């Protein structure tokens, strides 16, 4: 197995309330989680403080988005400085829902990545093609362009986890086959080697997202270049524990 530490992120998206999230947090705090797996939960902004205050210190917390500056007249936005002030150490950026529902482009996502990293947050940076792009045979072109926009804004890759999430597999119940996931992850690692460095290509964690469940996680997690998962719906359920322990 690779020396890269397995990483499992749970993206709660716009779900939960204090009662249901409190129950989930209690489940995670009392479960036997594989000690070699890094676990991070992406909470809605309004619950970041609640999640960080209640989750065991061994489990990380992520914001699901942030803005590209530290403060100012940006109604409805949150900054990395505020996220850090809540004791939270990660942010998810470039998720396909931010790109395709809210219209965020590569340039804005790159600026956000740069500012989050400068502020000392870890970044879970998301990339992935839509169904029409895969069917047109341009998956690599799309994900390489998205990765380039991120890479242009990264100085320290130790603070970045790259999440490959084929948009056609998010919340649809369709999962990329383990072979499809491995193929793209391998191509991404080759791209990193050619465009960043061999050292970064070997060390950066590339995780898979897109309808990951307790049933699909073991085979996906056994692929050489799949270093973990970004989990959506299943991260709100007790089966998230099984996904965390995919390599146990």
Catalytically active residues are 95, 165
| Separation CA 60–CA 243 (nearest Å) | 16
| Separation CA 206–CA 160 (nearest Å) | 9
| Separation CA 9–CA 52 (nearest Å) | 15
| Separation CA 41–CA 139 (nearest Å) | 28
Centre a 10 Å sphere on the Cβ of residue 26 and count the other Cβ atoms it contains: 12
- Unique residue bearing structure tokens 């998720």: 95
Could you tell me which of 11, 59, 10 has the C-alpha nearest to residue 38? 59
Question: How many Å is the maximal CA-CA distance in the chain?
Answer: 48
- Unique residue bearing structure tokens 């740069």: 114
Structure tokens at 111: 């600026």
CA torsion through residues 29, 33, 38, 43, sign:
negative
Structure tokens at 231: 């989990």
């Amino acid at each position: 197995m690779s020396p890269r530490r397995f990483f499992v992120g749970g993206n709660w998206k716009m779900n939960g309330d204090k009662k249901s999230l409190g129950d989930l947090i209690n489940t995670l705090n009392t479960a036997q989680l594989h000690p070699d797996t890094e676990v991070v939960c992406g909470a809605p902004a309004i619950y970041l403080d609640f999640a960080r205050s209640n989750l065991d210190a061994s489990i990380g917390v992520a914001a699901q988005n942030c803005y590209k500056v530290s403060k100012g007249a940006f109604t409805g936005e949150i900054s990395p400085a505020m996220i850090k002030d809540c004791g939270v150490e990660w942010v998810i950026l470039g998720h396909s829902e931010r790109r395709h529902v809210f219209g965020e482009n590569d340039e804005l996502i790159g600026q956000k990545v740069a500012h989050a990293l400068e502020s000392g947050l870890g970044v879970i940076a998301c990339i992935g093609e839509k169904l029409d792009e895969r069917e047109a045979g341009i998956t690599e072109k799309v994900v390489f362009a998205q990765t380039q926009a991120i890479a242009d804004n990264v100085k320290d890759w130790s603070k970045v986890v790259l999440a490959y999430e084929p948009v056609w597999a998010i919340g649809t119940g369709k999962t990329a086959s383990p072979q499809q996931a491995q193929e793209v992850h391998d191509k991404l690692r080759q791209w990193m080697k050619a465009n960043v460095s061999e050292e970064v290509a070997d060390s950066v964690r590339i995780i898979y997202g897109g309808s990951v469940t307790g049933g699909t996680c073991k085979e996906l997690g056994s692929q050489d270049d799949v270093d973990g998962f970004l989990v959506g719906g299943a991260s709100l359920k007790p089966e998230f524990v099984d996904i965390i322990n995919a390599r146990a």
